[in-house]
């Protein structure tokens, strides 16, 4: 059994499982573990391999605007889900797979880190072209860094946005951090538009400021980000509102209960996730 990950955030979700991991398509192993639909699809030409998928996020889906029902992955025979909700909503993607709810080994690893909360972490999604809600809100908030003067900041974002974001942060004197785990160690508040790290922050007790963009439609329901489960912190519509929202999140934790309930909805478990996943993979092999 071997792990196959073509992107760093996929690799991070496989690392707690203790696998050897490669970024080159595997052709000589009968069992391959991936952390994305993209990598599962890349393994389809390898007819001799069965694939297990570890969900790498919070189970965000935009399937209707993706052009109808999402095409299934018949080579996947095992799916490790963070919750019963994600297992149910993903059944059409993995028609040949056994779906097992194990929680999130990545989140369990993040929960084990020593933390010294001191910085406001700012993170943006990438410009995924699936639908308006999957686009980054970065263009709407390019004026925000001076507005947070006095706060120690740390810049982060989706790996696909690194080429845009890193230079933007550095030009304004904000340190860039690739690794979300390093951000977790320092985060006193997370400011983010749309990412699974928002729900990981909820589970870790990190206050969240939610950035909305004008192109996010209010009449769609793409859980967990849009909209019913997104009441996890102050919601910002314009850059001018951000300073007050960060002040509020940093000093008034009235969203603590909502964050906890949101995390419980996204992740059925945290403690024991890694052991459960490793056990299921052992049975699979």
Report the distance separating Cα 69 and Cα 62, nearest Å. Answer: 10
CB 120 within 8 A of CB 153: yes
Report the distance separating Cα 64 and Cα 45, nearest Å. Answer: 27
CB 93 within 8 A of CB 123: no
Report the distance separating Cα 43 and Cα 31, nearest Å. Answer: 11
The predicted pLDDT at position 67 comes to 41
pTM for this structure?
Answer: 0.93
Domain ranges (residues) in the chain: 2-104+268-284, 114-266
The predicted pLDDT at position 21 comes to 97
**Tokens found for residue 21:** 């991991």
Percentage of the residues of the chain whose pLDDT score is greater than 90: 82
- Tokens 């072209």 identify what position? 129
Report the distance separating Cα 249 and Cα 188, nearest Å. Answer: 9
| pLDDT tens track for 150-165 | 999 999 999 999 999 9
CB 74 within 8 A of CB 95: yes
CB 211 within 8 A of CB 192: yes
Under DSSP, is residue 194 helix (H, G, I), strand (E, B) or coil? coil
Q: What is the number of residues in the chain?
A: 285
- Residues of the chain short of pLDDT 50, as ranges, are 64-68
Runs of H (alpha helix) within the chain: 8-14, 37-42, 84-89, 105-111, 162-171, 180-186, 197-204, 242-251, 256-266, 273-284
CA atoms within 13 A on the CB side of 77: 13
Distances 172 to 2, 147, 153 between C-alpha atoms, Å: 41, 12, 11
Distances 196 to 59, 68, 113, 132, 232 between C-alpha atoms, Å: 8, 23, 18, 17, 13
The predicted pLDDT at position 66 comes to 42
Query: What fold characterizes domain 114-266?
Result: Rossmann fold (3.40.50)
- Tokens 């790996």 identify what position? 159
**Tokens found for residue 36:** 């994305």
The predicted pLDDT at position 70 comes to 64
The predicted pLDDT at position 110 comes to 98
The predicted pLDDT at position 68 comes to 43
Report the distance separating Cα 52 and Cα 105, nearest Å. Answer: 15
- Tokens 């102050």 identify what position? 234
Report the distance separating Cα 268 and Cα 256, nearest Å. Answer: 18
């Amino acid at each position: 059994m071997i792990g196959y990950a073509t992107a760093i955030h996929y690799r991070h979700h496989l690392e707690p499982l203790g696998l050897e991991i490669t970024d080159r398509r595997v052709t000589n192993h009968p069992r391959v573990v991936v952390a994305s639909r993209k990598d599962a699809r890349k393994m389809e030409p390898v007819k001799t391999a069965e694939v297990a998928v570890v969900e790498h996020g919070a189970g965000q889906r935009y399937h209707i605007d993706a052009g109808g029902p999402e095409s299934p992955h018949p080579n996947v025979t095992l799916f490790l889900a963070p919750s019963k909700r994600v297992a149910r909503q993903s059944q059409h993607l993995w028609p040949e797979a056994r779906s097992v709810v194990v929680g999130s080994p990545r989140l369990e690893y993040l929960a084990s880190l020593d933390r010294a909360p001191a910085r406001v972490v700012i993170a943006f999604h990438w410009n995924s072209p699936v639908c308006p809600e999957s686009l980054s809100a970065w263009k709407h908030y390019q004026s925000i860094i001076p507005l947070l003067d006095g706060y120690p900041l740390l810049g982060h974002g989706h790996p696909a946005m690194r080429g845009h974001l890193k230079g933007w942060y550095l030009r304004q004197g904000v340190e860039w951090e690739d690794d979300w785990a390093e951000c977790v160690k320092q985060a006193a508040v997370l400011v983010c538009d749309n990412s699974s790290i928002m729900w990981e922050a909820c589970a870790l007790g990190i206050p969240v400021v939610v950035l909305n963009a004008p192109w996010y439609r209010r009449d769609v329901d793409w859980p967990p980000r849009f909209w019913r489960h997104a009441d996890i912190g102050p919601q910002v519509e314009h850059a001018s509102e951000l300073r007050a929202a960060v002040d509020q999140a940093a000093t008034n934790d009235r969203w603590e209960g909502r964050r906890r309930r949101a995390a419980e909805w996204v992740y059925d478990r945290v403690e024991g996730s890694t052991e459960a996943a490793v056990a299921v993979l052992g049975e699979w092999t």
